[in-house]
Amino acid sequence: MAPVASSAVAGAIASPGAVAEHDARYFRNWLITRLSEYLQRPAEEIGSRTPFAEYGLDSVAALSLYGDIEEEFGLYLEPTVAWDHPTADALARHLRDEFAKACGGRREV
């Protein structure tokens, strides 16, 4: 099942540079902030290249993270995305690409 953008996200992309604002660094920082909340540890302790499994990310936290992604970016992802892209860097790149596709395929980053 391919991710799709909500009409809210699609409508928010009004300028050509809007997708560029959501680069991989943006998504990585957003993910690390969310992970620090779920894992109850400082964001500074979460490495962008450390597998989520090493932090003990469980399926409940992963589902909550998917809900946050859907709410924040309007992307509907497969439940296995955190295991298919097991680090903050890998998942951030995936989110960047899916967000760009959902916004009409523009990717200026």
pLDDT of residue 105: 59
| Lowest mean per-residue pLDDT among 39-53, 58-72, 83-97 | 58-72
Interatomic CA distance for residues 97 and 102, integer angstroms: 9
Strand residue runs (E) in 24-105:
none
Token pair for 81: 């995305």
Cβ proximity of 41 and 75 under 8 Å: no
- Average pLDDT for residues 79-107, to the nearest whole number? 86
**pLDDT at residue 84 greater than cutoff 70:** yes
Inform me whether the pLDDT recorded for 61 exceeds 60.
yes
Yes or no: say if 3 and 98 are a contact pair by the CB < 8 Å rule: yes
- The whole-number pLDDT of residue 63 equals 87
Location of structure tokens 């924040």 = 72
pLDDT for residue 82 = 86
Q: Check residue 54 and give its pLDDT.
A: 93
Given a cut of 50, whether residue 103 has pLDDT beyond it is yes
Residue 48: exposed, middle, or buried by beta-carbon count in 10 A (0-12, 13-18, 19+)?
middle
